[in-house]
Structure 1
Amino acid sequence: MRLFSLISALLAMVAAPLAAQIALPRVGVPDVGSVVDQIDDRLDRTTREIERETQRLANDRLRRIDRLVRRNRDAIEFDANGAPARKGELLVMDASQSALEIAGERGFTVLSRESVEGLDLQLVRLSVPEGMKLAEAQKQLEAIVPDAVVSADTLHFQAGGADAANLVLAADAPNSIGAPVGMIDGATGSSVKVAEQRGFAKGAPYPSNHGSAVASLLAYAGAGTIRVADVYGTDKAGGNALAMAKGLGWLVTRGSKVVTISLVGPRNPVLGRAIASAQRKGVVIVAAVGNDGPASPPSFPASYEGVVAVTAVDGKRRALIEAGRALHLDYAAPGADIYGRNAKGRRMRLRGTSFATPLVAARAAQAIGQGSDWRSALDREAEDLGKKGHDDVYGRGLVCGRCDGR
């Protein structure tokens, strides 16, 4: 959008001198070629600036992850794919008892057998052999149990930031009551009213600004009953795939028809299978594409098949330059120049795809609550931005375009 605005402004500069050439002497009037050269130069500079910013975002992501692992060596380490994960543990699905016994002989100890409620999902948690790095252990276990699905318990990160202001947000005013909505995030503060919260991490539920802001936007945009699965608490390795799968299962059993996830991470087979199971039960999953820029790897869970992937725009309806990417894109919604509540109930200025996502989820919940097809309802509301029709910047269009949380 910034490029389009720049082009329009520069073309206007060209038009004025050309019209004036009839009455004005040629002295001081630039010829068309020189003005076009100036436009090309400005566009080249703008393109280079965008490329630099894109690369900076990608580099910042790698630095943040590296810093996180280095500061929490007792709880987090890199898996075989270079993603941060819970230290010393692997998750295994579809392994036979004989295969697990062989793994046990090689030093992999069963920590627990997990059955995720509501999702028909079973798995085994294994500890890695003493003194072995997680990445190496993952490779070895994959060779020992080739017919099973092995993964690390990879971490996911919240996809937005906020600045608090000393003003209380006005009362929420939803247009209508929608279907029950579940939220996988941090817990909310007492000032943000939700029906129920449950923890799936050490110290959870524990109030967070991010979770509070997401919940306040859900209520503002017209979601029905809101339940929160806190997958962070005070756990250094919070936001892991197993916690998210368990949280999703609980939300499904509690009747959530839409689940919003403003978290991003790598592809994980446990979480992927949990999401697919929830979708088969008719639950709509809505997820953020993240804020690591277009050069970042595709974000999950937004990239899982059938998940409604959401990006964000600012108050001028320009795509956020830091918006990440997914393997597909469904909708855009306001994600900057908007407001929500923090854990203490104070007004917050928000920015990030985290905060666009609950707006789309609430709109889907409204449609379901009214007995409508949620996809058709969102498509009717969506305002086409950018290229005509579906595109890779705004998806199917802008939803909740007048929502700002004020």
Structure 2
Amino acid sequence: MRLWTALLTTLCLLLAGIGPRADAQLALPQVQIPDAARSLPQWPDLNTEPLISAVDRLPQIRLDRITALLRGHRESIELDERGEPAVRGILVASGIDAAMIARAGEAGFALLDREYIAGLDLDIARFHVPKGRSLTRARKQLAKLLPDAGIDVDNLYFASGPGGALPQAALATATGGGAAKLGLIDGGVAAHPSIAGRVEQRGFATGAPSASRHGTAIASLLVGNGPVRGAAPGRRLLAADVYGTDPAGGNASAIARALGWLVESGVAVTTISLVGPDNRLLAAAVTRARQRGMLIVAAVGNDGPAAPPAYPASYPGVFAVTGVDAKGRALPEAGRALHIDFAAPGDAVLAATGVNSADRLRGTSFAAPLVAGRLALHYPAPSIEAIGPAVAALVMEALDLGKKGRDKVYGHGLICGACGGR
């Protein structure tokens, strides 16, 4: 029995990216309120539309969402070389120093701002793209000029479930210290009774924090107590609003700052139900947060199996979560990641959506906080030594689905099967 426990713990350490080869895996790199276009459209009504047709439409829905976002905010958003939205005319460099900044300036890349994210021990700088150069061309030029820095565009990330603004909604607040803290990176959280007095919020975009439907729903599924009940009821939540009123909110820079705040605040488990492309700044921020003992749980998104791999869910050591329906079947609209770790209820999930409202929601967004909440019960405080036993405990409570053992569809299996108001 002791041998089995030791082996399972070792496997779970590897799952979390902490193990005998941790130094190689975790080496430090060289380094708005969301409008309708920033949220995924509702999954097509399967009562009126054949399943195959609905799944086939998902790639076009994704493209339409990006096109609508670009059309409405050309002054602040443009596409990178992969066709992914990013902050217009801005490049971000991580692992930067004064000499690099001077070299970039001589080549026409004017420094916009520079900051140090203390929680991650990460220096970042943002540069203006020289006039007349495309974002793609400028990124390649600056990367060649500064090969020891992490150069990338400032990509945008989408809520992986139905969202929307709550412009008149009061914000949830914290009235006491409470028990173990969980983290949330999303939109702002409204003052729903299920989470009253337990949510501390901070903004990382213009106009933030500002209540959103999506952020409120995720918060209630984490720490809600009462008729709308989360997976870790009654716990304290730190919520980082990375959208605010900025049409280019939800960018990699904002998420990195949010991670730094949560690390400094001692958060052990953070939920990110946002999806987008691989990005060097985001990858560096996630890696450094994990090195400091934070466990990150992310949704795989709802763009369907033909979509590109979702990030941050696809980063090593991030717990990628898919959604299932009441019969334990994977949601056909669930996106994909380079790995799947767990599944959780993602259909007809009861969640708060405003100050006095709750609805049944669908999407992988609403599965991720159920896994994060259960993980936090096993892992209340950041500690590298405690990661293995905590993950092992979560694996042991997973209900095996699909092929026997871990598989590519459900990972280790279903967590919190009775959660979400089922």
Q: Is TM more than 0.5 here?
A: yes
C-alpha distance in 1, partners of 2:421/2:237? 17
Aligned to 1:383: 399
C-alpha distance in 1, partners of 2:374/2:312? 20
Aligned to 2:88: 87
Aligned to 1:45: none
Give the 3-state SS of the residue equivalent to 2:395 in structure 1.
helix
C-alpha distance in 2, partners of 1:152/1:270? 9
What's the offset of the Cα at 1:392? 1.2
- 1:9-33 CA-to-partner distances (Å, cap 9, x unmatched) read xxxxxxxxxxxxxxxxxxxxxxxxx
| TM-score, length of structure 2 as denominator length | 0.78
1:265-344 aligned at under 5 Å gives the runs 265-344=276-355
- 1:200-226 CA-to-partner distances (Å, cap 9, x unmatched) read 001000000000000001012115211
- The one of 335, 351, 376 aligned to 2:362: 351
| TM-score, length of structure 1 as denominator length | 0.81
Bigger drift between 187-196 and 291-300 goes to 187-196
Give the 3-state SS of the residue equivalent to 2:367 in structure 1.
helix
Tell me the matched-pair count.
346
Give the 3-state SS of the residue equivalent to 1:348 in structure 2.
strand
Aligned to 2:174: none
Asked if the contact 2:350/2:360 (under 8 Å) is kept, the reply is yes
- 1:157-193 CA-to-partner distances (Å, cap 9, x unmatched) read 0011269xxxxxxxxxxxxx97310000001012243
Aligned to 2:221: 217
Asked if the contact 1:287/1:309 (under 8 Å) is kept, the reply is yes
The reply on whether 1:239 has 2:250 as its aligned counterpart is yes
C-alpha distance in 1, partners of 2:356/2:102? 52
Letter of the 1:264 partner, please give it.
Answer: V
What's the offset of the Cα at 1:60? 1.6
Give the 3-state SS of the residue equivalent to 2:120 in structure 1.
coil
C-alpha distance in 2, partners of 1:105/1:404? 55
Letter of the 1:383 partner, please give it.
Answer: L
Bigger drift between 243-252 and 98-107 goes to 98-107
Asked if the contact 1:217/1:405 (under 8 Å) is kept, the reply is no
The reply on whether 1:374 has 2:390 as its aligned counterpart is yes
C-alpha distance in 2, partners of 1:292/1:182? 25
C-alpha distance in 1, partners of 2:53/2:151? 37
Bigger drift between 104-113 and 118-127 goes to 104-113
Unaligned runs of 5+ in 1: 1-48, 164-176
C-alpha distance in 1, partners of 2:213/2:163? 8
Asked if the contact 2:92/2:125 (under 8 Å) is kept, the reply is yes
C-alpha distance in 1, partners of 2:421/2:162? 15
Unaligned runs of 5+ in 2: 1-49, 165-177, 224-229
**Which portions of structure 1, spanning 4 or more consecutive aligned residues, are displaced by more than 6 angstroms?**
none
Aligned-residue sequence identity (percent) comes to 51
C-alpha distance in 2, partners of 1:212/1:261? 13
The reply on whether 1:121 has 2:104 as its aligned counterpart is no
1:147-226 aligned at under 5 Å gives the runs 147-161=148-162, 179-191=180-192, 192-193=195-196, 194-219=198-223, 220-222=230-232, 224-226=235-237
What's the offset of the Cα at 1:96? 4.9
- 1:252-277 CA-to-partner distances (Å, cap 9, x unmatched) read 11111100100001111111111111
Letter of the 1:208 partner, please give it.
Answer: S
Letter of the 1:318 partner, please give it.
Answer: R
Letter of the 1:358 partner, please give it.
Answer: P
Give the 3-state SS of the residue equivalent to 1:340 in structure 2.
strand
Asked if the contact 2:96/2:123 (under 8 Å) is kept, the reply is no
Asked if the contact 1:162/1:349 (under 8 Å) is kept, the reply is no
| Larger CA Rg, structure 1 vs 2 | 1
C-alpha distance in 1, partners of 2:407/2:51? 19
Give the 3-state SS of the residue equivalent to 1:150 in structure 2.
strand
C-alpha distance in 1, partners of 2:69/2:120? 31
C-alpha distance in 1, partners of 2:367/2:277? 20
Give the 3-state SS of the residue equivalent to 1:286 in structure 2.
strand
Asked if the contact 1:181/1:225 (under 8 Å) is kept, the reply is yes
- 1:4-57 CA-to-partner distances (Å, cap 9, x unmatched) read xxxxxxxxxxxxxxxxxxxxxxxxxxxxxxxxxxxxxxxxxxxxx766544321
Letter of the 1:201 partner, please give it.
Answer: A
Letter of the 2:157 partner, please give it.
Answer: H
Aligned to 1:62: 63
What's the offset of the Cα at 1:95? 4.1
Asked if the contact 2:296/2:318 (under 8 Å) is kept, the reply is yes
Asked if the contact 1:80/1:138 (under 8 Å) is kept, the reply is no
Aligned to 1:73: 74
What's the offset of the Cα at 1:286? 0.4
